[in-house]
Each structure stands twice: as C-alpha cells, then as structure tokens.
Amino acid sequence: MQTHAFAAFAAGSKLGPHTIERRAIGAHDVGMDILYCGVCHSDIHQVNNDWGGSTFPIVPGHEVLGRVTEIGSHVTKYKIGDIIGVGCFVDSCRTCNPCKEGEENFCEGAVTWTYNTVVPGQSLPTYGGYSKYMVVDEQYALRVDPSMDLSRVAPLLCAGITTYSPLRHWNIGKGSKLAVLGLGGLGHMAVKFGVAFGAEVTVLSSSENKRADALALGAHKFVNYKNADEASTCNNSFDLIIDSVSAPHDLNFFMLMLKRDSTMVLLGLPSVPTEFSHRSVISKRRNLSGSSIGGTKETQEMLDFCAANSIYCDVEVIPLSEINTAYERMNRNDIKYRFVIDLNAE
C-alpha cells in the first residue's frame, strides 16, 4: 500500500514529500493510521548521517502513535480502533536471551530499527513515522490508554523510555541525588521521572533561559554550568548523572561532579567520540556507563506508569510540512521540549 511521507534524499538535505510502499498485512501484523510522531534528535543525526550507515531516501520517526485500522488473521493483542505506539524498533531476532526477556533493544542478533534498516532479502529499508500509515508486527507495538493526551504521549516512545529505563536500572528514588545534563527532549523527561520516583533532581544546563522551566518541571536545583562558580558547587555531589547532550562536550568536567562509586550514564550520541581522562574515573572509583532506549516489556511498563501518574511530554505540535523549521530550531537549541508532528494537520 502506498502512503504519503516526508523524506531526506541525501545526507544533510532538507526533507520533502515522498511516497513509500508499506507491506501488505501479514497474519501477525496490524495496520495503523499514524496520528502523531515525535521528532527526536536521533532523527537529525541520521538524516545528517552523523553515525554512518544511513540509506537515502530516509523517512525518520520512531516516536509513532496511531490508531489500528487493520489486523492480520492471527492478531490477538489488538483490535481495530485501539491506540498503539511504535518506538525505535519493529523486529529483532526473537531467540537470544535479551529478546526472550523483553529487552529486544539489547538483541544479540539483528534488530530491525523502525527506519533506516535494510532487512536481509528485502530491497528497501524500513521507513519511520513521518508518514500517514504503518504496518507493524503486533509483538512490537505498545498499548496506549486512549484517554491520554495523545500528542503528548508520542515522545514517550523514545524520549520517555530512554530516560525511564536507566533511572529504574540504577534504582533512582527517595534519597537519590540525580543530575540531568542537557534539558532537551530526553532531559525534560528525565527530570519528570526523577521527580516522580522521589529523587532530588538537579538540572545541569548550558542555557540560562531554561532556569525557570527546569524548576517548573519539578527540578529542585538548576545549575548553569557555563558559570564556573555555580558549577564548582556540584563537585562530588551526585549519585547518577544522566547525560543527554547531543553535541560533543567535556565529559571529565561532569565526571568530577559524581560522588565516590557513582555513575555517569551516557544517552546522547554526538557524531564524534569524546576525549576522556582515566583519572576522572579512577580517583573516586566512579563508573562510566550508557543506556539504549528500552525493550517492549519496560516500554509498556513506562506507558502504564505515565497513564497512572499523568506524566506527559511538553510538546509543540506541528504539521509535517514544518519539519525543516523544526530541525533548524532543534539545531539552535530552540525547543521546549519536543516537536510532535500531527499527521492530520495541513
């Protein structure tokens, strides 16, 4: 089935209208009309081919939310009319231990990413949610409470789970001192989850104009780390730092803010590797780690947690035709705090 989409046709090019083909509904597939799709900084990295391996034309979008319009003959989880979400991947090997444990994000075989993956034996890559219609295996779709504010739910499918997962993994809760480095799409969700889990949350930001927002989001403290005096008050003070910065930055400067035995979790994926001093880890037996989105099991848990606790993303809704302006604004750090495409808006 042909569907309308927006694609980039070469690395770094602007996005424009494109027609893509979606596969016919298989026995375990659901077809969905896409209602909303969030705009993640990873979309920009892949359009720019920052990480290598992008195939063009590329149709980004992995914060996809829609309504089921068709179901295959063996589908048991969903019925027509249900609201579902699709995150960063749409298939995996299904046989390795991570897959069996619902942590398909750590699949040891082949993950089929929602876009930009050429599946062996198929000529075309997968295409993402900057489009009107999608077909997905029911096992890789997530259930969304239809009474939720849906445009504000879409970014939970990446920004939400990517921040929820490490906070759960490192047991962040009452008594924890959490720092969120970078207040963007991921960062603002890390603040909301950290506060919801009972932690004391500090935002470490390069943008003075986000001070009031950070506190309104529930953070207990805002530190403009460009101000050396302010930054120095943070040394040896955090149990966990969630690093969501999209651009290259000096990791050592922030490692020194961790307490003994505490952990820096890298989420941001800048295009160039970061210089790193061994001393910043060795001196206080600190840990350097990372985290990659989350599996279907935990993503469902996160969506249910957000429904139960009214946790939503702060979004600016745009029509698909404004995607290039959205990218320009994200590149100059002018967004509070996630663009979401309304696929039914002109």
Q: CB of 72: closest distance to ligand NAP in angstroms? A: 29
Residue 218: is it exposed, middle or buried by C-beta count within 10 angstroms (0-12/13-18/19+)?
middle
**Cα dihedral across residues 138, 144, 150, 152: positive or negative:** negative
Stretch in the footprint of ligand NAP (CB under 6 A) among 114-122, 191-199, 286-294, 304-312: 286-294
Q: Based on the shown chain and the rule CB under 6 A, indicate whether residue 48 belongs to the binding site for ligand NAP.
A: no
> Measured from the CB atom, is 158 or 313 closer to Zn ion?
158
269 is a site residue for Zn ion (CB under 5 A): no
Q: Say what the alpha-carbon torsion angle 27, 28, 33, 35 is, to the nearest 10 degrees.
A: 180
CA dihedral sign, ordered 181, 205, 326, 53 = negative
Number of residues that bind ligand NAP (CB under 6 A): 29
Contacts of 206 (CB under 8 A, 6+ apart): 182, 224, 225, 226
Q: Give which of Zn ion, ligand NAP, none residue 274 binds (C-beta under 5 to 8 Å, depending on kind).
A: none
- Applying CB under 6 A, among 162, 176, 263, 296 the residue interacting with ligand NAP is 162
Residues 176-235 interacting with ligand NAP (rule: CB under 6 A): 182-187, 205-207, 210
Name which position in 75, 156, 158, 190 contacts ligand NAP (CB under 6 A).
158
Left (φ > 0), alpha (ψ -120 to 50) or beta: where does 30 sit?
Answer: beta
Segment 25-44, which members bind Zn ion (CB under 5 A)?
A: 40, 42
Token pair for 330: 């994200």
Question: Which residue in the set 246, 262, 296, 299 belongs to the binding site for ligand NAP (CB under 6 A)?
Answer: 246
Closest C-alpha among 240, 244, 225, 234 to residue 182:
244
219 or 258, CB closer to ligand NAP?
219
CB of 103 to Zn ion, least distance (A): 9
Q: Which window, 5-13, 124-132, 193-201, 263-271, contacts ligand NAP (CB under 6 A)?
A: 263-271
- Of 288, 330, 335, nearest in space to 60 by CA: 330
The residue ranges that bind ligand NAP (CB under 6 A) are: 40-42, 45, 158, 162, 182-187, 205-207, 210, 244-247, 249, 267-269, 291-293, 330, 333
